[in-house]
Structure 1
C-alpha cells in the first residue's frame, strides 16, 4: 500500500466530513444533541466519497454508538502432543519437539502456526457451488463431533457461498459481540470439509476503562486507506472485537482487543476499522 497516498486521501475525506460538522454547528445544533445519523448531508457526503472510489454501501448503516470495555484476551497455546496429532491425522504419529507440520498417509496435513493456530488440510477442493445449505450445517456439526472440538461460546457469524469457494466462520462470543481473533473456519465443498482453521481464546477479561465508539458512518472513510476495496459492495457493518495480527503475533499469548467496526464486502473480504479516534 502507498501510505503517503492513502494518508492524503483520508485527510481529504475527513476535511469534507468536518465541513459537514461545521455546517451543523452553524445551524445552532448544540454539540451534545448532535446526532450524526440524523444528518442526511453528512451521511450523503460519506456515501459519495466512497462511491467516488467505486465503493458502494448495500446494507443498513448501524446508527448505534457504544460504550464498551477493551478486552484483555489470553489465547490458547497449543500443546503439540500425540493425542492432538492422532485426533486429526488418525494414525500412530508421534509428536517431535520443535516440529509443527505433520502429514499422514492420506496426504492430510496438520500445521500449527504461531503456537496457537491450527490449519488442518484434508485435500484439495472439488469444484462446484453447494446447492443445499443443510448439507453445510450437517457437515460442520459432524466434523465438530468427530474431532472433539469444544465449540462452547462459539456461534456462526459469517457464511460465504460462491462457485469458487464456500466457507463458514464461527467466532467466540462475549456479551453478544464476536471476538474476531478467536475463530473456526470451515471450508466446505460438495464432498465435505476440505480445510479447517482454528484459533481460540481461553480467558477474556474486561478492562475497567471503557471506550465511547464512533458511529459507523464516521469510521467508514477509513476504508480509503486501503487499495484493495475499490469496485466492491459493502454488504454488512457490525461492531466486534479485534486485534491486529502482525509480525509480532507469534510472540503474543495475551493482548488487548478493541471495539472495532467490521465491514464485510460482497466478494467475501473483510476490513476492520477503528471505532475511536
Structure 2
C-alpha cells in the first residue's frame, strides 16, 4: 500500500469534513441573525394593531430541553378511593359513589361535600356548605398552602401564578414547576371564602424525562411577531412574558383528554394580557 498517498487522502477527507461543519455552523448563525428582531421594531409593529406593553421583553433565551410528560392518573379503584379519602370525611366512600358513564367520571357526594374524578385525571372538590359566615380577614396564600399540604401536594413542585379577589371570594392558581420553569397546562385552582377552601381543581402533569431538543426556541422579540397573525388580541395590553414548557395536547380542548396520556412539552413563550388572555408562542 502507498502510505503516502493514503495519508494525503485522509488529510483531504478531514479538511472536507471540517469545511462542511464550518459551513453548517456559519449558515445557522446567518439564519439566526436574519430573524433577530429589535425590541423597538416588535413594539412598533404590534402598536399597529393596538397591542401595548406593560412589561419588559426578555432579552435572553435560555436553552432548555424537551420534556416527556404524562398526566397524573387515578386509573384503579384503589387510587380513586385513596385520593377521595384525602378530601372527604365519609367513612364509607363506596356508599356515596356514583359513576357517570357519559362524562367518564366517578362522583362521591353527600349533603356536605362533593368529590369528582373526571376521566381518571382531573379531580374536583366542592364544599357544599359554602361557609356563609360574615366576611373575615385571612391570609389566602397561607390558607391555600395549608390546604395543599394537608392533601399531600408538595410545595416544591408548584408555583402560584395567579391570585384574584372578588368581594369575599379569593381564587388562587398554581402551576407545575420543573427546575424553576413553569409547565403548562398543569394546574391547581383553589377557591377560598371566609378563610375556608370551598372549591379545588387539579389537573397535573408529571415529568418522565428530559429529551434532546432539535428545535431551537426563537428569541422573545421574534416570537412576539407571531401575534400579528393571531385573532382576538387587538386592542389588548401585554402584562407578562415568561419562558415555560407547553404541553400542546394536540391543540385539543384541555378537557378532552380521555385518551391522551403522555407526550412532549416544548419550550415556549407564555404571553399574558391584562384581561387574562394567554397565548403560547413556540416553534412547530
TM-score for the superposition, normalised by structure 2 = 0.71
What do the CA deviations read for 1:81-117 (whole angstroms, capped 9, x no partner)?
A: 33332322321321456642332211x3322223211
Greater radius of gyration (CA): 2
Query: Which structure 1 residue ranges, 5 or more long, are not aligned?
Result: 1-29
Structure 2 counterpart of 1:255: 263
Find the aligned partners of 1:122 and 1:197 in 2 and give their Cα distance.
12
Find the aligned partners of 2:193 and 2:226 in 1 and give their Cα distance.
35
Mapping for residues 113-128 of structure 1, pairs under 5 Å: 113-123=118-128
Task: Pick closer, same or farther for the CA change 1:123–1:215 going to 2, 3 Å.
Answer: farther
Find the aligned partners of 1:122 and 1:266 in 2 and give their Cα distance.
31
Task: Pick closer, same or farther for the CA change 1:230–1:33 going to 2, 3 Å.
Answer: closer
Q: Is the 8 A contact 1:56 1:233 kept in 2?
A: yes
Task: Pick closer, same or farther for the CA change 1:142–1:157 going to 2, 3 Å.
Answer: closer
What do the CA deviations read for 1:15-54 (whole angstroms, capped 9, x no partner)?
A: xxxxxxxxxxxxxxx83784977x6xx4333223322323
Structure 2 counterpart of 1:268: 276
SS at match of 1:263: strand
Structure 1 counterpart of 2:106: 100
Find the aligned partners of 1:216 and 1:126 in 2 and give their Cα distance.
45
Structure 2 counterpart of 1:150: 153
Query: Which structure 2 residue ranges, 5 or more long, are not aligned?
Result: 1-28
Q: Is the 8 A contact 2:57 2:241 kept in 1?
A: yes
Find the aligned partners of 1:49 and 1:126 in 2 and give their Cα distance.
50
How many pairs align? 239
Task: Pick closer, same or farther for the CA change 1:138–1:66 going to 2, 3 Å.
Answer: closer
Mapping for residues 103-252 of structure 1, pairs under 5 Å: 103-106=109-112, 108-123=113-128, 135-146=139-150, 148-163=151-166, 166-245=170-249, 246-247=252-253, 249-252=257-260
- Cα distance, 1:196 vs structure 2: 1.3
Find the aligned partners of 1:60 and 1:221 in 2 and give their Cα distance.
15
Correspondent of 1:61 among 49, 57, 62? 57
**Once superposed, what is the RMSD of the aligned Cα atoms?**
3.2
